[in-house]
Amino acid sequence: MIAVVIPAHNEARRLGRCLRAVLIAALQAQQSGYRVEVLVVLDRCSDSSAAVARRFGVHVLEVDAGSVGMARRVGAAYMVERGARWLACTDADSRVPGHWLLSQLACSAEVVCGTVHVEYWQPWHTAALRQLYQSRYEAREGHRHVHGANLGVCAAAYERVGGFQPLAAHEDVQLVNDLQASGAQIVWTARHSVATSSRRDSRAPEGFGDYLEGLQAHI
């Protein structure tokens, strides 16, 4: 079984778009003979994120972690217990392409690290910021970016290294570092880029939003 794990903290505004895209990718995989289950891990949500998730008919877990690393860890453990052989991770403010899951599996690797792209730049993001971001980002095969919004891992390799660590930030980087140290086969690809948000009010500290703010400070 393929499991898609999505952590969410007060993402009612964006979660519907995320799930709509994930379910399209799930359908394509199901049409190729795979079983796919989708899980939203609701972490300290005080908005209507739960109602949005349930409207789409996906699995829902509610946790009081206050940590994206713990949310991913709990979600992955839940899906592995349900029989997941492949864990596909994305974020609630992101939109995956329709071929996302099939493209991950076609890499024939234990770990697949994908790229992201900004779908809509915000008005306060200057042309100089966009240019600086694009000059530093390698949207190519063999890149070395790590994004929780676009990550796939074989469940056996995931369990071998102890899974996501319960970190407030960079849990995705830590996992990939642990997998590299274990000798896991990793593919770094730009073939299924995920659209992500450029908002300022990012949910995870030191996440993508904070990275953009840091670039802006250097202009």
Contact between 124 and 213 under an 8 Å Cβ cutoff? The reply is no
Q: What is the pLDDT of residue 69?
A: 97
Q: What is the pLDDT of residue 101?
A: 98
Mean of the pLDDT values across residues 32-58? 98
Q: What is the pLDDT of residue 15?
A: 98
Tell me how far apart the alpha carbons of residues 61 and 152 are, in angstroms, rounded to a whole number.
20
Asked if the model's pLDDT at residue 192 lies above 70, the reply is yes
Q: Which domains does the chain have, with CATH numbers?
A: 2-120+139-196 (3.90.550.10)
pLDDT band (50, 70, 90) for residue 135: confident
How does pLDDT run across 100-112, given as a tens digit for each residue? 999 999 999 999 9
Asked if the model's pLDDT at residue 136 lies above 90, the reply is no
pLDDT band (50, 70, 90) for residue 216: low
Q: What is the pLDDT of residue 131?
A: 84
How does pLDDT run across 152-169, given as a tens digit for each residue? 999 999 999 999 999 999
Contact between 95 and 18 under an 8 Å Cβ cutoff? The reply is yes
Name 185's Cβ contacts closer than 8 Å, sequence gap at least 6: 109, 110, 111
Q: What is the pLDDT of residue 207?
A: 66
Strand 2-8 to strand 111-118: parallel, antiparallel, or no bridges (unpaired)? unpaired
Q: Which of 49, 51, 79, 75 is nearest to 63 (CA)?
A: 75
Asked if the model's pLDDT at residue 46 lies above 70, the reply is yes
